[in-house]
Amino acid sequence: MTDVGLYEAMRTLRAVRRLRPDPIPADVLHRVLEAATWAPTGGNVQPWRVIVVREPARKQALQRLYAEQWQRYVAGHRGLPAAADDAARARGERMLRAGNHLAEHFAEVPIHLVFCFNPQLMAITDAALPRVSVVGGASIYPAVQNLLLACRAEGLGCVLTTLLCACEDEVRALLEIPQPWATAADVPIGYPKLRGHGPISRRGVEKMAFADGWGRPFGAGPAA
């Protein structure tokens, strides 16, 4: 484990899609899974489980499914608006190249962590609203994020993927997932082939945070 601080880990946690096939020691795997269990969930119910996929045949089957979804995603990818600058364009192209690499080497990744959830164990407070429901995800993805940060601390590359959710029936059959459990994410983890985690590009606080009302600029302001 590295002694990376929490803020440094968050600031350098990026999608790492080129992963070596080298095995992950059992104690390391246990620590990152344990970090996931520490995440908060609605009512502390922990309505998620994770399937640790290591068998080559199942990983091969996942690769076939993932590659199909990835091709579909790339075909429908609208690219960046004409106004996008060269740096943004270069980032987009790097992402597509790394995504292709992951899709082509999916089964070589030592471990896929398939996160599942049970909607019947959740109080989904926005389920009746006439818009897409997101509250249920808040009892799953904090666990995934804890796991990603723990991977960062362990020097493991990782990336949150959701493309396999589109072929959930096939994943369900492959991994013996009973109803009403469903799939939320697949996180491939492994030691990085290249530099691994590093600098990220994100919008800053001044764009993301408002002061007291929507659209009101959040400046330095008085101390709260």
Ligand X SMILES: Cc1cc2nc3c(=O)[nH]c(=O)nc-3n(C[C@H](O)[C@H](O)[C@H](O)COP(=O)(O)O)c2cc1C
Stretch that binds ligand X, among 50-58, 106-114, 156-164, 216-224 (CB under 6 A): 156-164
User: Applying CB under 6 A, which of residues 200, 206, 207, 218 lies at the interface with ligand X?
Assistant: 200
The verdict on 17 binding ligand X (CB under 6 A) reads yes
Residue 95 touches ligand X, criterion: CB under 6 A:
yes
Instruction: Give start and end residues of each alpha helix (H) in 126-219.
Output: 141-154, 168-175, 205-208
Return the range that interacts with ligand X (CB under 6 A); candidates 24-32, 47-55, 78-86, 95-103: 95-103
> Interface with ligand X includes 160 (CB under 6 A)?
yes
Which segment (11-19, 48-56, 114-122, 126-134) binds ligand X by CB under 6 A? Answer: 11-19
Long-range contacts, stretch 25-31, CB < 8 angstroms, 24+ apart? 28/1, 28/154, 28/156, 29/111, 31/1, 31/150, 31/154
Query: What's the rounded Cα separation, in Å, for the pair 202 and 182?
Result: 30
Of 122 and 184, CB closest to ligand X: 184
Q: Which residues pair with 137 in a beta bridge?
A: none
Are 135 and 126 spatial neighbours (Cβ–Cβ below 8 Å)? yes
**Does the protein bind ligand X through residue 163 (CB under 6 A)?**
yes
Q: Smaller CB distance to ligand X: residue 68 or 162?
A: 162
When the beta carbons of 39 and 159 are compared against ligand X, the nearer one is 159
Residue 157 is a binding residue for ligand X (CB under 6 A): no
- Residue 125 beta carbon to ligand X: minimum distance, rounded to whole angstroms: 20
Question: What DSSP assignment string belongs to 87-137?
Answer: HHHHHHHHHHHHHHHHHHHGGGSSEEEEEEE-GGG---TTTTSSS---GGG
Q: Does an H or E element contain 28, and which?
A: helix 26-37
The type of residue at 199 is P
The residue among 30 and 89 lying less far from ligand X, judged by its C-beta, is 89
Among 147, 161, 181, 183, binds ligand X (CB under 6 A): 161
Residues sharing a CB contact under 8 Å with residue 24, sequence separation 6 or more, in sequence order = 110, 111, 156, 189, 190, 191
Binding site for ligand X (CB under 6 A): 14-15, 17, 95, 99, 102, 159-163, 200-201
